[in-house]
Amino acid sequence: MSERFTYDIYNDCCPAREVLGRLADKWALLILDRLEQGPVRFNSLRRDIQGISQKMLTQSLRRLERDGLVHREVQPTVPVTVEYSLTRLGQTLTETVTVLTHWAEHNMNAIIAAQTAYDEAQQA
């Protein structure tokens, strides 16, 4: 019966595809990974995740919030500050995402080596 789930994802109209599509967003992955370390404010996130534009950060956060993965809390300070944190659902996801990012960090050398080998083989 777990097989039933395994195959669903290949279907074009499957909502799980939609969900996967969310994860297939490098910014989302990085944001989730960052949020796992604790609540962060908008500009802090912006600084931490180098290279992300303000537009993309806002967009990704909104999407993550809409998906129920991230919680957005407005603090009534002056000027206003907004704190982002993981929801319970988001936490269950980041556990997996973290494994993924760690995999990326630990295996990047192997990948770079593979790329070099591939490119050289292609040359000849």
Partner DNA sequence: CAGCATCCTCGGGGATACTG
Partner DNA sequence: CAGTATCCCCGAGGATGCTG
Residue with Cβ nearer a copy of itself (65 or 83) = 65
> Of the listed pieces 3-11, 53-61, 77-85, which binds a copy of itself according to CB under 8 A?
3-11
Cβ(64)–Cβ(31) below 8 Å: yes
| One residue of 29, 30, 49, 61 binding DNA per CB under 7 A | 61
The order of strands in the sheet holding 70-75 is: 40-41, 81-86, 70-75
Greatest Cα pair distance, the chain, in angstroms, is 64
Cβ(19)–Cβ(97) below 8 Å: no
Tokens of 118: 């591939």
Radius of gyration of the chain (CA): 18
Interface residues toward a copy of itself, by CB under 8 A? 2, 5-6, 8-12, 15-21, 23-26, 29-30, 33-34, 37, 48-51, 65-69, 89, 92-93, 96-97, 99-108, 110-115, 117-119
User: What is the contact surface with DNA in residues (CB under 7 A)?
Assistant: 25, 41-44, 52-56, 58-59, 61-62, 72, 79-83
